[in-house]
Structure 1
């Protein structure tokens, strides 16, 4: 029976453990993949804590992980374009399951991995970079325009900054002062929300306002930058519907398509996008990997490696 890492009840880290589970069987639009690497994201501990169970019901015990990369071991019914032995990366099927030696991926949210892209880089693309890609696809910022990213220091923001700058867009973002040097290294202007006069920094960085806004913080974040906001149709936000409506902003929606993931992989292979994987843990240290993400905001992305030779 393959080994996986998950949780047996909703709660804190104490409910996490290694599990011996039956080999998954791929259904329609699913691939069974031998996992070489898996991404570790804040959403993983939020799922374990029960914050998403209203819209992501799971049978317990459940396996953690929303993204993975590996080699196709079996193909589900009616799946086309993939074959056993293909190197791939994509989103976990049925909501979870990437922290495992074998996992199910959703075929329509999976792409082939180019040889030039490492397993760890591929594994962390679907959630963060995929969200960034889809957010920018909705905004369509043009070369010469300015994009304001609220919460630019996280995985989604870092990917959005790189993708936008590759298109000739000027990028400014809000982040903690501790991440200023890292974010500025990406060619991005930083407005520190926890250091100095925020309003003065905002006016200085965006004297003519922002052309487009990607709000990855939610809550009251849009209100704090209301002086520089563009029309609502040029704002994508993760804020609640009432807050979004107040600014006539549109929700940040996801497609997670094979085409989007393939484009991201091409950009990585061409050197236009660095997934910024700065934390790599062995599978046996999965608990420590998730703790690193849950206990703070680590620089860059965190990945699990399932095999020592990968």
Structure 2
């Protein structure tokens, strides 16, 4: 058996519970790992609310374990898996949820964890940092261009600002006034969120904004679209595809490859990317970890650490 934090039906926090589940067995192309850390992301509570990712098919089978990214130690490999063996330290996309003692990773989206990379930092890379990386690659901006990131104070946003700088871009981060110092510490221009933010962005960057990476959606996405001369340079990971397509932009296209994870691990080891894990919780306090992200006030990344 394995302890796991799950939701038992679609709904709010009242659907959540810490339960015992059967230890999963790896199928073809999968790896069983003893989890050491799991990243907490907004998509976790959105899935509990009933959000379906683009391309999702089939009916859900409850209970569903929270979490999409994890790091840990390989215990068993499934049929057809090569390059991994029991005892290897790895990180990747969780195929069976991350808020648990044992989970399955898809071998195609799993990377070996460098010794210099902590389990805690590694667990932030497969979803948050990789989403940031994939979006910036999708924008394909030349060095020196200006990219504006909404929701810049969170896990994806803070990673996007740093990766943009690594790509030679000028980064502008839209976040609350309380996160001004944090955004500026990442080498970005801060624009205070809230009513009138788009006009403040125009004032802060009078020579114009070349691209927008939106992580909020709704009215913020619509306001962001108005900043661009070329709407093809508008992408979002914070709104449904149809919402951004109606504005002339695109949903972030995820690569989901081990090669991207290797690149991100290298950026962290070299000191170019800091995941900025600001809060950690044991598995027994997973509810608090999720509330910290769902309430929208967390700065950087929140991680659940699982005892060996």
Superposed pair shares fold, TM > 0.5: yes
State the secondary structure of the residue aligned to 1:60: coil
| Contact 1:141–1:164 (CA under 8 A) maintained in structure 2 | no
Q: TM-score, normalised by structure 1?
A: 0.92
- Structure-2 residue corresponding to 1:287: 287
State the secondary structure of the residue aligned to 2:218: coil
CA distance in 2, matches of 1:89, 1:226: 35
Matches within 5 A, 1:1-310: 1-52=1-52, 55=56, 57-93=59-95, 96-194=96-194, 197-238=196-237, 239-307=239-307
How many residue pairs match? The answer is 305
117-126 or 296-305, which deviates more: 296-305
Change (3 A) 1:201 1:64: same
Change (3 A) 1:212 1:40: same
104-113 or 140-149, which deviates more: 140-149
Change (3 A) 1:50 1:248: closer
Change (3 A) 1:61 1:109: same
| Contact 2:212–2:234 (CA under 8 A) maintained in structure 1 | yes
Task: For residues 185-210 of structure 1, give each alpha carbon's deviation from its aligned partner in whole angstroms, at most 9, with x where no partner exists.
Answer: 11111111227x53542222221211
Q: TM-score, normalised by structure 2?
A: 0.92
Q: Which runs of 5+ in 1 are unaligned?
A: none
Q: CA deviation at 1:133?
A: 0.7
CA distance in 2, matches of 1:121, 1:105: 17
State the secondary structure of the residue aligned to 1:69: strand
| Contact 1:11–1:48 (CA under 8 A) maintained in structure 2 | yes
Change (3 A) 1:256 1:53: closer
State the secondary structure of the residue aligned to 2:274: coil
| Contact 2:198–2:227 (CA under 8 A) maintained in structure 1 | no
| Contact 2:7–2:16 (CA under 8 A) maintained in structure 1 | yes
Task: For residues 253-279 of structure 1, give each alpha carbon's deviation from its aligned partner in whole angstroms, at most 9, with x where no partner exists.
Answer: 112210001100111011010001010
